[in-house]
């Protein structure tokens, strides 16, 4: 049987909306958002400016119900309790537990689809307690589900940013959206051009997030408690922090998308908003697949997911039990631009003080840094001090 075709655009209600990454991506596929729910004033300023006329509710805990006839609920629910650099309080942490408010609204509205996004660490923290709770709730509410780690690097962007996407459906097989038509091996993937490298310069002794030919994931915070950009080693050897407009482009947004947030808070809030955002390119791909999904042909190595198994990178339950599958994080394989090719705006040179600080922390720690990073930091320090 061919996969079902959803001919009409879906009516979308957005929970934990952030700056609308899910929604601008879904809109590019023809779907229409009719409501946002977001508590952050800076994010709300962006939503108000970019989606004029769409209702914004500011607290999911006081939201009694969703608009009538909503067909898709999106939720990039808070990840602070699920990240290795956060409090790792797990699914029952104060922030991440707010996902239960989303399920309260879903139970009442019974939309055709539920689409969730969060960090891959949720599959490992507390032996995957968070993902177990989420898919158990979907099963309790009568939804078939599939999830998969998807990396934005698959879409031609030189950023390494894997995220878990969970799709629950009452009407179609969710595997036809997230898992079908996939090659299980990256052997045919074109190698990334190794021009330019990225790393974290504000993580102290926790890590460097080295990106060989790519930029590590934009983050909403750092070990020193402030939102900041990664650093980039350009082909010239200069170390810079990218311009905010290039950061927006790395997340798939048009440049200046987050500018309205600066009217309500410090300009640095824009980095936090982008670090917490759902990538637009992935959202658009999912939106297109919702309009015309691909038939799923279960591979022979799909296996029953037993109670004590580790949670895999992709799994599903379409009513016959939970199964793990070998889908990787690259559902498509667009040619990836080099960092030098991608960046369009002049970045800010990393200062001598910042460069010296990064170098000292690496040298005094047990962190294993590649030679090119150490050499680049030393050369940068010599240039900026001269």
Please give the positions annotated as active site.
79
| Helix H or strand E segment including 290 | helix 280-291
For residue 65, the tally of other CB atoms under 10 A from its CB is 11
Cα(49)–Cα(31) distance, rounded to whole angstroms? 19
Tell me the three-class secondary structure of 79-135, residue by residue.
CCCCCCCCCCCCCCCCCHHHHHHHHHHHHHHCCCEEEEEECHHHHCHHHHHHHHHHH
Q: CA 305, 307, 312 angle in degrees (round to 5)?
A: 45
- Our separate counts of H helices and E strands in the chain read 11, 16
| Strand, helix or coil for residue 300 | coil
Q: Sheet with 348-349: list strands edge to edge.
A: 197-199, 231-233, 239-241, 348-349
Query: 241-280 b/e with 16+ CB inside 10 Å = b?
Result: bbbbbbbbbbbbbeeebbbbbbeeeeeebbbbbbbbbbbb
For 207-228, the DSSP string reads ----BSSSEEPP-S--TTSS--
Encoding tokens for residue 248? 């927006």
């Amino acid at each position: 049987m061919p996969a079902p075709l959803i001919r009409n655009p879906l009516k979308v209600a957005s929970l934990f909306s952030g700056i609308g990454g899910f929604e601008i991506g879904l809109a590019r596929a023809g779907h229409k958002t009719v409501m946002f729910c977001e508590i952050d004033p800076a994010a709300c300023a962006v939503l108000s400016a970019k989606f004029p006329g769409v209702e914004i509710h500011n607290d999911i805990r006081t939201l009694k119900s969703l608009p009538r006839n909503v067909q898709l609920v999106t939720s990039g629910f808070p990840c602070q309790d699920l990240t290795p650099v956060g409090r790792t309080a797990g699914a029952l942490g104060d922030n991440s537990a707010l996902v239960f408010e989303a399920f309260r609204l879903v139970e009442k509205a019974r939309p055709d689809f539920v689409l969730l996004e969060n960090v891959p660490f949720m599959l490992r923290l507390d032996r995957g307690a968070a993902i177990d709770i989420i898919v158990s709730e979907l099963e309790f509410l009568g939804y078939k589900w599939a999830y998969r780690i998807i990396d934005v690097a698959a879409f031609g962007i030189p950023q390494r940013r894997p995220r878990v996407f969970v799709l629950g459906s009452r009407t179609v097989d969710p595997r036809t959206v997230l898992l079908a038509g996939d090659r299980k091996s990256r052997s045919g993937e074109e190698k990334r051009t190794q021009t330019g490298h990225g790393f974290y310069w504000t993580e102290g002794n926790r890590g460097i997030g080295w990106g060989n030919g790519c930029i590590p994931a934009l983050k909403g915070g750092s070990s020193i408690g402030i939102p900041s950009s990664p650093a980039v080693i350009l082909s010239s050897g200069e170390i810079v922090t990218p311009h905010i407009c290039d950061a927006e482009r790395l997340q798939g947004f048009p440049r200046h998308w987050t500018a309205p947030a600066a009217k309500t808070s410090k300009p640095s809030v824009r980095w936090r908003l982008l670090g917490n955002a759902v990538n637009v390119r992935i959202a658009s791909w999912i939106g297109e697949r919702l309009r015309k999904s691909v038939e799923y042909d279960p591979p022979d190595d799909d296996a029953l997911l037993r109670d004590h198994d580790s949670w895999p990178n992709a799994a599903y339950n379409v009513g016959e039990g939970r199964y793990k599958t070998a889908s990787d994080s690259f559902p498509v394989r667009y040619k990836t631009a080099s960092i030098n090719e991608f960046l369009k705006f002049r970045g800010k040179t990393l200062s001598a003080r910042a460069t010296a600080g990064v170098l000292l922390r690496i040298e005094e720690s047990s962190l294993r840094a590649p030679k090119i990073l150490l050499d680049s930091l030393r050369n940068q320090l010599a240039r900026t001090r001269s």
